[in-house]
Homo-oligomer: A and B are copies of this chain.
Amino acid sequence: MNFAYDGYYAWMIAATSFVLLMTAPGLALFYGGMSRSKSVLNMMMMSFVSLGVVGVVYVLWGWSMSYSDGFSGDGKLFANPFDQFGLVDTDPLNYIFVAFQLTFAVITAALISGAIADRVKFSSWVVFLPLWVTLSYFPLAHMVFGGGFLSGAKDGLAEMIYSAGDAAEVAPLDYAGGTVVHINAGVAGLVLCLLIGKRLGFGKEPMKPHNLTLTMIGAGLLWFGWFGFNVGSIVFTADSLADPEAFMTQFTTETGLVWINTTVATCAAMLTWLIVEKIRDGHATSLGAASGVVAGLVAITPACGALSPVGSIGLGAVAGALCALAVGLKYKFGFDDSLDVVGVHLVGGIVGTIGIGFLSTTTGLFYGENAKQLVVQIAIALFAIIWSGVVTLVLGLLIKYTLGWRIADEDELEGIDFVEHGESAYDLSGGGGARRSILTEGVSA
């Protein structure tokens, strides 16, 4: 056994925990703060229940469907969901990877909820979750990470485009999930928000974030958790697996590079988002800073292992500016992507995935000799968009005409927190600043 493994395993335990933190409470806060005070709990619940449902499903058939064929490079669309059902036949040495991948599935599903805030039956969301991860997430994870159709596999997409030899050379690059996670969730968000329709009053009332301090906490926790996400996504080369010294070298240098790239791309994206706002609206907002952070993190996700630190600053800067412009589109085109899943995750995911084609220090257009990597990157981005789009549309329609997606109009006005969950987030009277009265307290039955 390779003794150099044990530090890596130690890091993977931490990294996996970091990624779980991204969903609960990270994303729950980021989204919760952006929603209105009458729907913050529903928004947070959508993240929490994604964790509840997808966590269980992942152990039952998610892992099996994604990776049970042992990263064989088969070029398939998904693996057998029953092969390692319930992890009964899973090699215990893989447990930590099951755990790590579980957290990815969870957050991808949770990300979608931001596009359909404030108006969706909680039960319909709960039903959508296992269906969507089964048909969209697990297959894409298999295709990209599991040696499937979008990896460097034989019979894979890259090989279809180029000859076999070339394909190996320009295997699709997606370090931690630009396609699988962000494009996937972003497209699903777009399809659902078109299908489900706008919130009442969208475009007329501002529907501003009700508590930006929550959004800032969320952005901070997402950033922290993202180190688990990106730095934990290291995959060792055959050389490294054979030779402890090579293993150590790859581990220490690649993790350091990925950490730095993740950070500086995010810093740059925050700054360019603020600059765009300052120029366009006259104010650099905290919502912009928080959104810029996420845009940078999204864009660097697929690219964090392939770029130099300076390249990462460039990628982040582009992503921050483009996403800042993109979030305004929903008002232009009139689709209610409530919390900017499309503008940030879809656009940021595309910027990152395709940006690799330019900025990869080995095969990028700016460094290498040709545009092959770029073409492959565009191809996998398109494939992911289509796959996720079709799956989400089918599932979305299915639910629309069975359970229905939307709560009643008067309930939406009254506030989904009270109507769906019987709660309201805040009861700040009976204390608070002026230690105010008891007006909102109840009278015993």
In the complex, the chain B residue whose C-beta lies closest to that of A41 is B286
Query: How many copies of the chain does the oligomer comprise?
Result: 3
Q: Number of contact residues on A: which range applies?
A: 35 or more
Most chain B CB within a 10 A radius of its CB, from A98, A217, A282, A431: A431
In the complex, the chain B residue whose C-beta lies closest to that of A232 is B13
In the complex, the chain B residue whose C-beta lies closest to that of A313 is B56
Most chain B CB within a 10 A radius of its CB, from A29, A205, A309, A422: A309
Interchain CB contact under 8 A, A263 and B433: no
**Distance of A103 from chain B, by nearest CB (Å):** 8
Answer whether A425 and B434 are a contact pair too, CB < 8 Å, given A13-B255, A263-B55. Answer: no
**Distance of A207 from chain B, by nearest CB (Å):** 8
**Distance of A393 from chain B, by nearest CB (Å):** 27
Interchain CB contact under 8 A, A248 and B1: yes
Which residues of chain A from 194 to 238 have a CB within 8 Å of any chain B CB?
Answer: 203-206, 208-214, 216-217, 219-221, 223-224, 227-228, 231
Binds B, one of A72-80, A85-93, A140-148, A398-406: A85-93
Interchain CB contact under 8 A, B267 and A37: no
A333 within 8 A of B: no
Q: Looking at the complex, which one of B5, B25, B37, B88 makes contact with A252 (CB distance below 8 Å)?
A: B5
Binds B, one of A156-164, A167-175, A268-276, A374-382: A268-276
On chain B, the residues within 8 Å of A96 by CB distance are 252, 255-256, 259
On chain B, the residues within 8 Å of A28 by CB distance are 216, 220
A417 within 8 A of B: yes
Answer whether A59 and B8 are a contact pair too, CB < 8 Å, given A36-B430, A211-B428, A431-B40. Answer: no
A17 within 8 A of B: yes
Interchain CB contact under 8 A, B3 and A37: no
Interchain CB contact under 8 A, B37 and A253: no
Q: Looking at the complex, which one of B37, B86, B214, B430 makes contact with A431 (CB distance below 8 Å)?
A: B37
A370 within 8 A of B: no
Which residues of chain A from 1 to 56 have a CB within 8 Å of any chain B CB?
Answer: 1, 3-11, 13-14, 16-18, 20-21, 24-26, 28-29, 32, 36-41, 44-45, 48-49, 51-53, 55-56
- Show the binding face of A for B, using Cβ within 8 Å: 1, 3-11, 13-14, 16-18, 20-21, 24-26, 28-29, 32, 36-41, 44-45, 48-49, 51-53, 55-56, 59, 86-88, 92-99, 102, 122, 203-206, 208-214, 216-217, 219-221, 223-224, 227-228, 231, 244-245, 248-249, 251-253, 255-257, 259-260, 263-264, 266-268, 270-271, 274, 281-287, 289-290, 293, 308-310, 313, 414-415, 417-418, 420-435, 439-444
Known: A20-B223, A59-B264, A59-B309. 19 other contacts (CB 8 A): A4-B6, A7-B7, A7-B9, A21-B223, A45-B284, A48-B219, A49-B270, A49-B289, A52-B271, A55-B263, A59-B260, A92-B252, A95-B253, A95-B260, A211-B426, A283-B423, A427-B433, A428-B428, A434-B439
A-B contact pairs, 8 of them (CB 8 A): A37-B431, A55-B264, A95-B259, A96-B256, A211-B425, A286-B421, A427-B432, A427-B433
